Structure 1
Amino acid sequence: MISKNTLCIWYDSAALEAATFYAQTFADSSVGTVWRAPGDYPAGKQGDILTVEFKVMGIPCLGLNGGPGMKHSEAFSFQVATEDQAETDRLWNAIVSNGGHESQCGWCKDKWGISWQITPRALSAAIASPDPAAAKRAFEAMMTMAKIDIARIEQALAGDQLEPF
């Protein structure tokens, strides 16, 4: 049964593939009911997969195979708060190595064009530091990164000289 409030995410024709990847990659994620079209529609034929119910980290979603008419943008993203560098690396690498691509400041896109912010809690704490100079250093360090490197953020927060990449 579809939740009262569900994110509907438009895919060209790969809603089930995306939902399966998310379920295999993120904790508290699963694939639910797969609905087939009861008749022909602009992006498909009767019997094609039309929608897929799934959860991503507990968030109810509905993948709609609506065809190539709509494209994703960074205006929508999943933000994932990670606990440590190992979790950050695992999730980032899973998305990027599965046909996705890197962006900057912890952002990446999966192969279906969905944006993800893989954000270590250490980064959020650093840029919210009560010391404005330390927060600025951490923020400036983040601005030089694609995937977030927690050790470099902590170095910047402490005022240590950063080694070049």
Structure 2
Amino acid sequence: MNKLTPFLWFNDQAEEAARFYTAVFKNAKLGEVSPMATSFELEGVGFTAFNGGPRFSFTEAISLYVNCETQGEVDYYWERLGEGGKEQQCGWLKDKFGISWQIIPSLLPKLFSSPDRERANRAVQAMLQMTKIDMAKLQEAYDG
């Protein structure tokens, strides 16, 4: 067992959620499944999904960040994780279980951390107008 493992509290959909996430991510595997909890791994990170009842729900205070190298990856994760969920601003979405995801291209922090603050600000302003991040539009705004 890992030293740290994200523990996700579901009403009664722990196994369904774990199976959904392991179907979305290519580097994923389902672990032990029981009526109370299901373990799974995504991209080398272990998770436990727990059926704890409706006492708690997910908020944007915690999100899962997906670092994407290409627009194709952004599109894939946006579409798959967003199935039955809700799109939000700036590359965020809530999946059908209520978990918040940030689907972010690696280009974004590179543009934002540019020493040329004017160019970086143009990229930020473009991103603020987006739901799903469009890498070409970010680069175009950055380049001016």
Name the residue aligned to 1:157: 142
- Paired residue secondary structure (1:54): strand
Percent identity of equivalent pairs? 42
Equivalent-residue separation in structure 2 for 1:8 and 1:80 (angstroms): 18
Matched, 1:123 2:108: yes
Equivalent-residue separation in structure 2 for 1:79 and 1:122 (angstroms): 14
Residue 3 of structure 1 and its aligned partner are, at CA, apart by: 2.6
Q: Is the 8 A contact 1:15 1:65 kept in 2?
A: yes
The number of equivalent residue pairs is 144
Equivalent-residue separation in structure 2 for 1:55 and 1:114 (angstroms): 16
- Root mean square deviation of aligned Cα: 0.9
Name the residue aligned to 1:3: 2
Structure 1 segments (4+ residues) deviating >3 Å: none
Residue 134 of structure 1 and its aligned partner are, at CA, apart by: 0.5
Q: From the two aligned structures, give the one with the greater helix fraction.
A: 2
Equivalent-residue separation in structure 2 for 1:101 and 1:57 (angstroms): 23
Q: Match for 2:143: what amino acid? A: A
Name the residue aligned to 1:13: 12
Gaps of 5+ in 2: none
Equivalent-residue separation in structure 2 for 1:142 and 1:86 (angstroms): 18
Gaps of 5+ in 1: 36-48, 160-165
Matched, 1:63 2:49: yes
Q: Match for 1:68: what amino acid? A: P
- Paired residue secondary structure (2:36): strand
